Amino acid sequence: MQSVDRAVSVLEILARHGEAGVTEIADELDVHKSTAFRLLGVLENRGLVGQASDRGKYFLGAGVLRLAGAAAVRLDVSQEGVPVCREAADELGETVNIAVLDDDAAVNVMQARGTASVTAQNWLGRRTPLHATSSGKVLLAHMPPALREGFLARPLHRFTERTVTGAALLRTELDSVVERGYALTTDELELGLAAAAAPIRAHDGKVIAAISVSGPVYRLGPERLPVVAKRMAAAGEELSRRMGYGF
C-alpha cells in the first residue's frame, strides 16, 4: 500500500508543478532518489508520466486520460505539441506547425522553426484555407461526411494555378489523404511553397488537429516531400499518443 500511496503522490506532485525532476520528487516524498526513480519508471511504462528528453524532467502522461475516461479534460494539443514540433523542426530544418479547425479555416496554434527556416514567415495565429493547405486538407478529410460535402459544395478560391478547386478532384484527393495518412501541397497556397501534414487524434480517435512541415519548393521538392510527410505522420502518431490515443 505504501508504494501505491507514493505513486499517487508522484502524480499529484506532477499535477501541482507541471513537471519535476527525480531529485525534486524524491525530496517531496522524503525517499531516496532510487526509490523515486523506480516509481517513475513504473508510471512511465504505463503511460501515466512522460519524460522530456532534453531536460530530464517528468510530466503527466496521456495515460491519465485512459483512467479518467471521457469525463477528463482533454490535454492541450498546443502545449503537448511543443516537444514534438521542436524535435521535428530541429531534425528537418523546416517550420513545423500545429493547426486546428476554426469554422471554415485552419488556424495555426503552435509553431517551431528549424535552422533552415530562420527567415521564414510566421504562420502562428494565421487562418489558412482548408482546400489549399496540407493541414487544411487533413482536417477537411477527417470532417464528418455531411460537413465535408457542405464545404465542397461552396465555390472555392483559387490562390494559384495549382490550387485544387473542383469538388470531384478534391474529394478524390481527400480520400487519398485518409488512406495514406498524410496530405501534400505544392504551389497551391503560394507559388514556391510546399508542405506536408498528418492528423493528430484525441483519446477517442477523433482527429482534432494536424501537424505540418512547410518550406520552399527548392528544399521540399518531389523527392524529399514524401519523406518528410512520413516524418510528419510519425510525429502525428506520437502526439496522438500524448493526447491519450491508443491507451
CATH number, residue 128: 3.30.450.40
Q: Which amino acid is at 183?
A: A
Cα 197 to Cα 128: distance, rounded to the nearest angstrom? 13
How many domains, in total, are found in the chain?
A: 2
Amino acid 180: pLDDT? 95
Strands (E), 17-160: 49-51, 58-60, 95-102, 105-112, 127-129
Average pLDDT over residues 221-232: 95
Amino acid 240: pLDDT? 92
* 119 and 68 both lie in a single domain: no
* 188 and 204 both lie in a single domain: yes
Between 98 and 15, name the one with better pLDDT: 98
Question: Is the pTM here over 0.75, yes or no?
Answer: no
Amino acid 121: pLDDT? 63
Tell me which H or E stretch contains 207.
strand 207-216
User: With bands split at pLDDT 50, 70 and 90, how would you rate the model's confidence at 74?
Assistant: very low
List the 95-102 sheet strands across, edge first.
127-129, 105-112, 95-102, 207-216, 193-201, 183-186
* 225 and 129 both lie in a single domain: yes
Amino acid 68: pLDDT? 54
Q: Is the predicted pLDDT of residue 149 greater than 50, yes or no?
A: yes
Of 56, 72, 88, which one is at a domain's C-terminal end? Answer: 72
Q: Please give the residue range of the domain that contains residue 52.
A: 1-72
User: With bands split at pLDDT 50, 70 and 90, how would you rate the model's confidence at 239?
Assistant: very high
Q: Is the predicted pLDDT of residue 163 greater than 50, yes or no?
A: yes
Q: What is the pLDDT of residues 110-127, one digit of tens each?
A: 888 888 765 556 777 788
* 1 and 30 both lie in a single domain: yes
Of 38, 72, 106, which one is at a domain's C-terminal end? Answer: 72
* 67 and 79 both lie in a single domain: no
Q: Which amino acid is at 156?
A: L
